[in-house]
A and B are shown apart, each in its own frame.
Chain A
């Protein structure tokens, strides 16, 4: 029996040493150590042995079993190691093959700019509201202190809309020439304090490299009991720093809009030349970006706020102009052709 055990051990040594694969090793483990394996078969005959002999053979059997287990473990490590070496040593993949992706779609540069600017005013505590684009003359002009037959109307080439299908006569209908009717509608809908921005499309009958018949603006309106021009300046200064960067300077100039008094325009120092003068800013060092002012009391009157009860400021900014400055665009008309070769640049 002892011999049988010894020969079993030597056979196992040889076979395990020869094993090259994990699966073969498992077969050997079952053959030698399994319930119906060879070791069990040998030990099955142990019951017939005398107690002394049984103890002695038992010790040998345990030793053989331990040896086979150790051999199997070592072989397993050896095989796993070889497999790993083989895996790591195989030829590499071609990492220069292009990646698999679906190219994300791009935002249109105008809508992106409009959203960036809107978000900046949201950070300054302004609420975003929407207002119609097809608008009554009443809200686009009259309520904003543009009297009929006033030359201020020449500042904007207006598109007029046919209203022949209407069942009543609301007066002239226009495509809004600015987002300012959003001021009127907001004030008609709400009581002060008001702090809103109105982003959106506006229309003027004009078309050349720097004018398109449709473009975008954002209107701002803040109305409360005692709003000052210093606060208008503060808000716009904050906007310029938040949007263009902390190193930009601003310049306020007097101007004229019928619906604000006093009125102003805001210039931002040119980013192309840091204010020294370049082609972008026509050598002036400044870029005009918006019109603004203190809300005219006639506008408050038009929306039914008691005269003198509130003051406020308003501003309106052209989005395409800012986009042109920011992204170096030179012909606005190309923006609305939607050539994907242009769209995909942004």
Chain B
């Protein structure tokens, strides 16, 4: 809310400098987010008296004036004629920058020196008059800064009022806070109208058919209204608060709202038919044209004010076009009513009618002070429009405001804050905010503070007015019992370390993705590639491309690949650790998560394996690199050996994809992206990816592997080469080698794969490095020779036999 310091000072004075005031308010919870000085634009402009004027010797349109500015005398050349010697006018001195205009410099105009510029109202931005110089009142003192002379010096504070503090949405409300923190009295001078003879209740009757929606309705009747512009001082205040001036009658309703916080409405009484206004809920489908000229269709939850014809106004939100005050209005019904906050909020949202009025009603307005506020507004309106005010106030109050009290025990402040506050100070702070002591430890809550309900609320009042800086700072006495770090934290750390070591940059993507992408990236049976996927959808996405929650991180990562390819990198290695969101028909029951949120570790690889360099070869990332990244993670987790099985799964290539497992635990998938997916997403060939379940990785992790004694006897190394059909998987060959090698072969590492001459077509040579070792003794050469011969024979027999079998 915009708060004029000049206006505020009517309620509290003396106010400190605006900066200090802002600091004090912020410290008390009314955060001042910005400050504007409307008079800043007039810096350098002063009041000048014209002491002499003569025609310019060389230019008929110009006049050479001599002006007096305090002790100084200056010569200024000017184009206007609407002044006499002796008049006071504004002078922009040399160095002044006019609003939206040039910086004034000493100049020579056709050979005559000019020290500044005499200004029109328009040039200064203080009026629309550009016809001549702004001639100022005679009683000003030459040399005085113009802003000061005209009372334009003000600071406007931009106050961020939190949603619980509807009471602070007015100058009075902010003044109350200021008075409390500054320990100054709050001055309030409300006007009272002079009443005429006719009775208000003879002119109009008010009925409330919905006491829930309208707890109180007050009104005054004004007659002999002359619609016209508001005086400058009022317009200025409205403008500073960001409200456009419309007419004296409408301006008064806005002015009093900004002043006291009560939104009001002025009806043209002669356009209300039947002498009756009724507050009721709308009928479903009922039409209403509002002030903004829009035709609206109402729903049963809307609250309206009707006359005999039907709905004339959306209660507390926006008036109707039919009963609007216009230039010909002479009789006004001035309404000050109270509305149910929830009803107003729903209406404002439903009809997109967020106004200064609805904003305040949503937050709650004090209905106990309605009569005084109404009188104040009526008196001001009468004064500005020449109207008379009929005798009596209409005041229908089906639900009087309840008197609320809150208990504050002796120890409550210390218990919550952790340090005592003297009883005397507690009392003085609460009193300064309008709370009234009602017996020991009981405080009556003022009508405007609908946010205060509990002892803690009172403690907060005390703490914030004193300033939170007075609360001591101590470490918690309660530590709870410290518990071991959950395993997943360490698992995550190790996985990230391994992937980083393998050269994968981490990405973080939005959880919502384009629904068009999911059919092409969701892991499932390959046959379903491209068919619809049931995903969790947003009701109000920001864009259609962010409309569903991702079912796989590949949805994002493959997008990252195509995005980054625009920069023509040599290679990409990216990973993400994040959740996918799957529909769960029973989600949200009891304490179950609404969707199945699975944490994944997924990565993509593309392009050169090693960066271009003098010592690297130009080879591309392939399946083995993707698999190697998974192996690196498993190694970091001290997990068991990775086993891969060829798999047909979307969105992967059926020739180059594996289900990844450790023992019985399926980790996920590793593979090349299916060519059709590449086409759909605009990816080049050769993109490899993996998607693993974090929970599975956590399951196979051995964070505390157990010690095994180091071997006591040396190993003997021998190589063995086996020729097998190319379709035979290396893992099968290796397991045969390990099996027949029992008990002496400790390990078999595949170190070469060869196809081509001199091997026959369809055959490949696999070479393994075998490690022989005995746990009991140093192996003798002959023993190893013998075992090795047996293994070669056996492997050839078993695998060769298979070959012959086909």
A102 touches B469 (CB 8 A): no
Cα–Cα, bound, A159→B548 (Å): 11
Q: Which of B603-630 contact A (CB under 8 A)?
A: 610-611, 613-616
Q: A134-B581, A161-B537 in contact; A340/B615 too (CB < 8 A)?
A: no
Cα–Cα, bound, A256→B457 (Å): 11
A103 touches B416 (CB 8 A): no
B538 touches A175 (CB 8 A): yes
B471 touches A229 (CB 8 A): yes
B503 touches A340 (CB 8 A): no
Q: A253-B29, A261-B456 in contact; A105/B506 too (CB < 8 A)?
A: yes
B502 touches A168 (CB 8 A): no
For residue B28, which residues in chain A have a CB less than 8 angstroms away from its CB? 254
For residue A193, which residues in chain B have a CB less than 8 angstroms away from its CB? 478-481
Determine if B151 is an interface residue (Cβ-Cβ < 8 Å). Answer: no
Determine if B464 is an interface residue (Cβ-Cβ < 8 Å). Answer: yes
Cα–Cα, bound, A167→B592 (Å): 14
Determine if A224 is an interface residue (Cβ-Cβ < 8 Å). Answer: yes
A162 touches B539 (CB 8 A): yes
CB distance from A132 to the nearest CB of B (A): 4
For residue B460, which residues in chain A have a CB less than 8 angstroms away from its CB? 254, 261-263
A252 CB contact (under 8 Å) in B31, B469, B616: B469
Q: A105-B500, A134-B593, A255-B162 in contact; A228/B511 too (CB < 8 A)?
A: no
Determine if A280 is an interface residue (Cβ-Cβ < 8 Å). Answer: no
CB distance from B735 to the nearest CB of A (A): 31
Q: A151-B362, A152-B163 in contact; A294/B505 too (CB < 8 A)?
A: no
A159 touches B538 (CB 8 A): yes
Cα–Cα, bound, A195→B527 (Å): 49
Determine if A4 is an interface residue (Cβ-Cβ < 8 Å). Answer: no
Q: Which of B458-504 contact A (CB under 8 A)?
A: 459-460, 463-464, 468-469, 471-483, 485-486, 489, 496, 499-504
B523-543 contact mask (Cβ, 8 Å, vs A): 1 or 0: 000000000001011111110
For residue B479, which residues in chain A have a CB less than 8 angstroms away from its CB? 125, 193, 195
Taking CB as reference atom, which chain A residue is nearest B472? A230
Determine if B165 is an interface residue (Cβ-Cβ < 8 Å). Answer: yes
Cα–Cα, bound, A136→B589 (Å): 10
Determine if A127 is an interface residue (Cβ-Cβ < 8 Å). Answer: yes
A151-174 contact mask (Cβ, 8 Å, vs B): 1 or 0: 110110001111101111010010
Q: Which of A9-59 contact B (CB under 8 A)?
A: none
Taking CB as reference atom, which chain A residue is nearest B34? A282
CB distance from B605 to the nearest CB of A (A): 11
Q: Which of B543-597 contact A (CB under 8 A)?
A: 546, 549, 560, 563-564, 567, 569, 572-575, 577-579, 581, 583, 585-589, 591, 593-595, 597
For residue B29, which residues in chain A have a CB less than 8 angstroms away from its CB? 253-256
Determine if B283 is an interface residue (Cβ-Cβ < 8 Å). Answer: no
Cα–Cα, bound, A269→B476 (Å): 23
Q: Which of B395-420 contact A (CB under 8 A)?
A: 415-419
For residue B81, which residues in chain A have a CB less than 8 angstroms away from its CB? none
B542 CB contact (under 8 Å) in A134, A207, A338: A207
B503 touches A104 (CB 8 A): yes
A127 CB contact (under 8 Å) in B486, B593, B597: B486
Q: A102-B503, A166-B585, A224-B480 in contact; A132/B593 too (CB < 8 A)?
A: yes
Number of interface residues, chain B, beta carbon within 8 A: 100
Cα–Cα, bound, A54→B480 (Å): 98
Cα–Cα, bound, A297→B588 (Å): 25
Cα–Cα, bound, A311→B162 (Å): 24
Determine if A78 is an interface residue (Cβ-Cβ < 8 Å). Answer: no
B511 touches A230 (CB 8 A): no
A213 CB contact (under 8 Å) in B362, B457, B463, B510: B510
Cα–Cα, bound, A201→B578 (Å): 10
- Give the residue among A103, A104, A122 with the most B Cβ atoms within 10 A: A104
Q: A228-B415, A337-B563 in contact; A296/B456 too (CB < 8 A)?
A: yes
A228 touches B416 (CB 8 A): yes
Determine if B27 is an interface residue (Cβ-Cβ < 8 Å). Answer: yes
Determine if A344 is an interface residue (Cβ-Cβ < 8 Å). Answer: yes
Which of B62-70, B340-348, B750-758 sits within the interface? Answer: B340-348
Determine if B75 is an interface residue (Cβ-Cβ < 8 Å). Answer: no
Taking CB as reference atom, which chain A residue is nearest B507? A338
Determine if A248 is an interface residue (Cβ-Cβ < 8 Å). Answer: no
Taking CB as reference atom, which chain A residue is nearest B452? A261
B542 touches A106 (CB 8 A): no
A134 CB contact (under 8 Å) in B346, B595, B616: B595
A133 touches B567 (CB 8 A): no
A245-284 contact mask (Cβ, 8 Å, vs B): 1 or 0: 0000001111110100111100000000000000000000
Binding site for B on A (CB under 8 A): 97-98, 100, 102-108, 110-111, 122, 125, 127-129, 132-136, 148-152, 154-155, 159-163, 165-168, 170, 173, 175, 185, 188-189, 193-195, 201, 203, 205, 207, 212-214, 222, 224-231, 233-235, 237-238, 251-256, 258, 261-264, 294, 296-297, 311, 335-341, 343-344
10 A-B pairs with CB atoms under 8 Å apart are: A102-B501, A104-B501, A163-B594, A193-B478, A224-B478, A233-B468, A254-B460, A256-B29, A256-B165, A311-B416
List 4 tightest A-B contacts by C-beta distance, closest first.
Answer: A230-B418, A228-B418, A254-B29, A170-B588
